[in-house]
Amino acid sequence: MIPWLESDSLMGGAQQRTSYAAKLKAAGNKAYSAQDYPRAIELYSKAILCKRDPIFYSNRSACYNALGDWRKVVDDTTVAISMDPEYVKALNRRANAFEQLEKYSEALLDFTASCIIDGFRNEASAQSVERLLKIVAETKGKAMLEAKPKKLPSPTFVSNYLQSFRPQPFPQGLEEGAVLDDTSGDYHLQAGLDAVRRRTADAYNLAADSFEKAMEAGTNHEALALNWRGTFNYLRGDSASALKDLSRSIELDQAMTQSYIKRASMSLELGWF
């Protein structure tokens, strides 16, 4: 225990509190230099109780930074910046913490603000801005692509692809004209198979949706439904889902020859062989 921390005068006048805060800060700096970060945090926290100062918050954030506690780094630097909006060191430290938390847009804003305030004299901060601009652009671009609805190619392309496989008759129970419960997976599977035969853009889109609904509702012909859903996932550009469906189709029915062929074709195209 530091003797002057026990004095009742700690709650005295502003001048005394400022004096104690300075002593606590100095002790905190010593603990920080010794890499005793928990002790330094304790001392800076007591200094803050004596006097709210952006430097104390920034120093405590440096301890959390050394410990990799990025959220607390953000909390303390945010307080420091609210007290001193041009506190470049706190801006840079918060930017680094944001980057560690993968909050790239926030990190970019802080590094940019730091560069502007510092007149772009800090080369490391300027390089961070360039690096984060690239990351933010790539992240947003990827998010836009993922959010973009996956569409089927032209009906001619789909027809040519499907015709490269030998046509199969409808399985028993799904023959044309069979009456099925319109809420069942078999009904949707039959609707999808029927739509494929019409070979139009609208029909192919209907088929893709029907095979998805067949799997959601549950069908007595799961291996076949997976084969077709995988086929249309592939045509929509979702190769990962397609391969997953085709592999599961083979697991359920090892006689599902077309699933083998389609999976092998996709794997070759992706360079997996």
Could you tell me the CATH number of the domain that includes residue 244? 1.25.40.10
* Full domain range(s) for residue 85: 70-148
Query: Is the domain of 95 the same as that of 123?
Result: yes
Instruction: Kindly report, residue by residue over 136-165, the tens digit of the pLDDT.
Output: 888 776 666 566 667 888 999 999 989 888
SS3 of residue 182 by DSSP = coil
Do 167 and 232 have their domain in common? yes
Amino acid at 117: I
Same domain, 191 and 222: yes
pTM, two decimal places: 0.53
Q: What is the mean pLDDT of residues 93-101?
A: 96
Phi, psi values for residue 87, rounded to 5°: -80, 90
Burial 65-75 (b: 16+ CB within 10 A, else e): beeebbebbbb
Do 121 and 205 belong together in one domain? Answer: no
Distance separating alpha carbons of residues 3 and 197, to the nearest angstrom: 90
The total number of structural domains in the chain stands at: 3
Assign 192 a pLDDT band (cuts: 50, 70, 90): very high
Q: Does residue 62 lie in a domain region?
A: no
CB 180 within 8 A of CB 192: no
Distance CA(123)–CA(110), nearest Å, equals: 15
Give the end of a domain, one of 87, 114, 148: 148
Q: Is the pLDDT of residue 64 over 80?
A: yes
243-260 confidence digits (pLDDT tens) = 999 999 999 998 888 899
Phi, psi of 119 (to 5 degrees): 65, 30
| pLDDT over 80 at 269, yes or no | no
Higher pLDDT, 151 or 31: 31
